[in-house]
Amino acid sequence: MIGKRIYLVILLFGLSLFAGDPHCEVLTLDQVGGSLSEAVHRKMDPGSFTVSAVHGNVVVMRYAGAVDDFEVSPEHPIDFLPRQEMMRAFYAQIGDVYDLVAFTTDFTYVRNGTLGFHVQLKNDIQGIGLPLVDYSATFHSSGKLQGMIELGAATKYLREGALTLDVFQNLMLHEIGHRWLAHVSYLVDGQISGNLRMESGGHWSFLLDSDASYMYGHHWQEAGDGTWTVTDARSRYSDLDLYLMGFLPAEEVAPITLLHSSEIPDRSNRFPTPAATIRATAETIDISQIIAAEGPRDPGYANRARSLRVAFVFLHSGPAPEETILAQFNGGLAGLDSRFQRQTKGLGHLDFRPSPYAASASAADFANGWNYLEAQRQGDAWADTDATLVRDTVEVIRAQVLHGHPFETTLTALKAHQDRNLDDVARIAALLGELNRGDEARIAVLRTARRGDGAMLCALAVNPVRLIRPWH
């Protein structure tokens, strides 16, 4: 892995985010990679991390080691070993099913004036300006984990015991955005230009009209006399963001405005500034220029990931956090998912659920479980009773998907199932939707079956969100 241009991106926020003036840094793996290879040869006490509780969507982990091991400061660059060991314990007790893991702590360890950061571990998406690399194994994931979000001490997000939702959620939306953003270049006059981005990378340029993206840049408005004014910042995912995230087809991304100014250099690392006014000229960039530089996004819109599984960990060195605090974070996560769904036009979903498997489950337990399921197989279906064939088969396929077992044969058979009622139709359509396999015929059946009052003539135990989402 050495010698490759790997980005282990550390994106850091200033504590001053509270004042609307964050600062960020980006370090490449070359700058911090020493600790990654070094960690292979070092050891930590295997009992240093334990899952002590699961409270709603928050996994509570106890850390028995020295909190200074986590320190990030000018004198103490990030050490991956304790983070890797935390994930080893997490996977042993919870499960390796998460795209991202975010954690907060009951101790202060970030001492370089920053708020939170994102450690990028894997990218398997082409056309978004990131190399195709996979460092998940160094964090003990079998290829699933794409990144780690560090929020630092939980006290930073609490005011008199109440979670400051805007600070917490805006930071999370930004850090989650780093999974895909902001790394692309564009082609202009036969040259590749990086002017969309800050020089330091990972954020949109001060001069980009990013439609007030969470990933910086601004919403710039022309004042008519050669000056441009900031009217909004850090409020949403832009169309460009959504394209790169997979939630918008390229043809729906409107032309993008990039300013050039004698007052601010291209690729300026300045952070968003409310109400800033500068003299500037505008360059219009079409999404096709980005695609010309980066290639098309692959997977594209049609095959985009639908939901992102995010683990949320509260790591404590002192006494276990109070339930009221954990309840605050659970509420913050629920609201965060709602915001993410709205921001992605109903197409994206943050799934914070801890793995449904018990913390004590061992590899042998899983093997027994699969053996049991295989023993119950009836051809390509599972059925406790004839009436529950579709329900049972759908749930088995979900389990197969979750654990990476082959499922295509049973899915094909299920798709060809002769539906007996709307319950069958809805369950199969929901599953196919989750797997990004369209099923227009069944969706059409459901639309037709809708009564005048909007209700359906079926008693569904299916999560309605799963049904609604494919209708967009």
CA distance readout (Å), 267 to 48, 82, 176, 183, 404: 43, 35, 22, 12, 42
In contact, 293 and 187? CB cutoff 8 Å:
yes
The smaller minimum CB distance to Zn ion, of residues 91 and 237, is found at 237
Among 227, 245, 131, 229, residue whose Cα is nearest residue 180 = 245
The distance of closest approach from Cβ of residue 197 to Zn ion in the complex, given in angstroms and rounded to an integer, is 12
Nearer to Zn ion, 171 or 414 (CB): 171
Strand partners, 310: 100
Compare residues 340 and 407 and give the one whose CB is closer to Zn ion.
340
Residue 11 or 422 having the CB closest to Zn ion: 11
In the complex, minimum distance from the CB of residue 28 to Zn ion, in angstroms, rounded to a whole number: 15
Q: Strand 256-260 vs strand 277-279: parallel, antiparallel, or unpaired?
A: unpaired
For the bound state, the minimum distance from the C-beta of residue 11 to Zn ion, rounded and expressed in Å, comes to: 4
**Cβ closer to Zn ion: 11 or 128?**
11
Minimum CB–partner distance for residue 216 and Zn ion (Å): 8
Three-state secondary-structure class, residue 330: helix
DSSP conformation class of 213: B
Shortest Cβ 419–Zn ion spacing (Å): 47
Binding site for Zn ion (CB under 5 A): 11
Closest-CB residue for Zn ion? 11
Give yes or no for a contact between 256 and 241, defined as CB atoms under 8 angstroms apart: no
- If the CB atoms of residues 203 and 306 are measured against Zn ion, the closer one turns out to be 203
**Closer residue to Zn ion, CB minimum distance, 61 or 215:** 215
Q: Which residues contact 204 (CB under 8 A, 6 or more apart)?
A: 181, 182, 196, 197, 198, 210, 213, 215, 216, 217
Residue 326 makes CB contacts below 8 A (sequence gap 6+) with: 55, 56, 58, 60, 314
* Smallest distance from Zn ion to CB 150, Å: 12
In the DSSP assignment, the letter for residue 344 is T
Burial class (CB in 10 A: 0-12, 13-18, 19+), 249: middle
Task: Give the alpha-carbon dihedral of 313, 314, 315, 316, to 10 degrees.
Answer: -160
Least distance between Zn ion and beta carbon 73 (Å): 19
